[in-house]
Amino acid sequence: MTHRDKRLKEYNVAASNGLDTQRGVTMTGMYVILVELDRAKEIVAGRKHRFAFQKGFYAYVGSALAGLERRLARHLGARRRLHWHIDYLLNAAEVRIVICAETSDRKECVVAQTLSRRLPAVTKFGCSDCHCPSHLFFCQDPEALKGYILDAFRRLDLNPLVII
């Protein structure tokens, strides 16, 4: 079983435990994908960007105001083409946790700003459509990282759902 197949299988199991992925039901919201890189690695994302990653855990903050279920299925499933920075990282990393919340407001930048006060950021990662310095953050301790993410959601009165 490939990493992508495993991610999709885990996503489907998680969906049955709280995230509705049935056709006809569309949630809007935001999410954070917590991934692990088991070794230092340079990742080339498209033609313009090179990112140097150290071994450890990363949290990517994103939004899906046109369908949270589809966006997570895309990120966690097999991708036909690489489009966003996160697509390139997901090819090299293992997804450990996804935290999402239903909202119709664009709150991912506020979560990214909150995380940037506590964690080092990977500059210019995942933020080409906003003015944030980054939407990707690094931490050696996955439990601390999960705690920071949950705290950021709760400070915005978002009800976080932890899947996978």
Print the SS3 string covering the chain.
CCHHHHHHHHHHHHHCCCCCCCCCCCCCEEEEEEEEECCCEEEEECCCEEEEECCEEEEEEEEECCCHHHHHHHHHCCCCCCCCHHHHHHHHCEEEEEEEEECCCCCHHHHHHHHHCCCCECCCCCCCCCCCCCCEEEECCHHHHHHHHHHHHHHCCCCCEEEC
**What's at 6, amino acid-wise?**
K
pLDDT at 6 over 80: no
pTM for the model: 0.84
The predicted structure's pLDDT at residue 13 = 41
How far is residue 29's CA from residue 108's CA, in Å, rounded to a whole number?
9
Angle of helix 68-76 relative to helix 85-92, nearest 10 degrees? Answer: 40
For residue 14, give the amino acid letter.
A
Domain coordinates in residue numbering, the chain = 3-163
39 pLDDT above the threshold of 90:
yes
Q: Which of 79, 61, 72, 70 is nearest to 126 (CA)?
A: 61
The whole-angstrom separation of Cα 85 and Cα 35 is 14
pLDDT attached to residue 25: 58
Q: Which range scores top for mean pLDDT: 33-37, 77-81, 103-107?
A: 33-37
Q: Would the pLDDT of 96 be above 60?
A: yes
Report pLDDT digits (tens) over 132-163.
Answer: 999 999 999 999 999 999 999 999 999 999 99
Top pLDDT among 79 and 5 is at 79
Residue 5 has pLDDT above 50, yes or no: no
Residue 12 to residue 20: CA distance in whole angstroms: 10
